[in-house]
């Protein structure tokens, strides 16, 4: 079951690959009333403890598949379902320290029935949460 907030408290943890902590991840829910094609999603802004994460360090995971934003722009036949969270993976050597962290997310989308110049208006807004990293 999804939480009401965009940033989900479940799923916030360090990411481990080959026994090494390589970053952290968190889940977000789609705040739109219907699904979006991956090509409609604009770059996400992620800030952790006030520090903005470079776009090159962000991967989206939709339905078990990971994508960079550049890859998503080219994909018009895969949809982010309104009932499924997306996992955002952030590359950060060593991950995050255990304890509380302030997370801010801002992401936008384009709409097939709005002119491209409206992309800036179609925003889910900035979402903030203080989350506890326990492992």
Indicate if the pLDDT at residue 121 is higher than 60. no
- Domain contains 2: no
User: What is the reported pTM?
Assistant: 0.90
Range of the domain at 83: 13-124
- At 28-44, the pLDDT tens digits run 999 888 889 999 898 99
Indicate if the pLDDT at residue 69 is higher than 70. yes
Q: How many domains does the chain have?
A: 1
In the structure, what pLDDT confidence band is assigned to residue 74 with cuts at 50, 70 and 90?
very high
- Domain contains 1: no
- At 76-107, the pLDDT tens digits run 899 999 999 999 999 999 999 999 999 999 98
In contact, 103 and 131? CB cutoff 8 Å: yes
* Unique residue bearing structure tokens 């208006």: 121
- Domain contains 69: yes
């Amino acid at each position: 079951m999804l939480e009401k907030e965009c940033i989900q408290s479940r799923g916030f943890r360090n990411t481990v690959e080959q026994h090494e902590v390589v970053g952290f991840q968190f889940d977000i829910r789609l705040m739109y009333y219907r699904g979006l094609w991956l090509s409609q999603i604009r770059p996400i802004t992620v800030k952790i403890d006030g520090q903005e994460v470079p776009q090159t360090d962000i991967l989206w995971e939709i339905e078990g598949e990971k994508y960079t934003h550049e890859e998503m722009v080219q994909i018009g036949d895969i949809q982010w379902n309104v009932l499924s969270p997306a996992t955002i993976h952030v590359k950060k050597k060593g991950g995050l320290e255990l304890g509380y962290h302030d997370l801010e997310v801002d992401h936008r989308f384009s709409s097939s029935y709005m002119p491209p110049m409206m992309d800036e208006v179609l925003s889910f807004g900035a979402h903030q949460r203080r989350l506890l990293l326990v492992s």
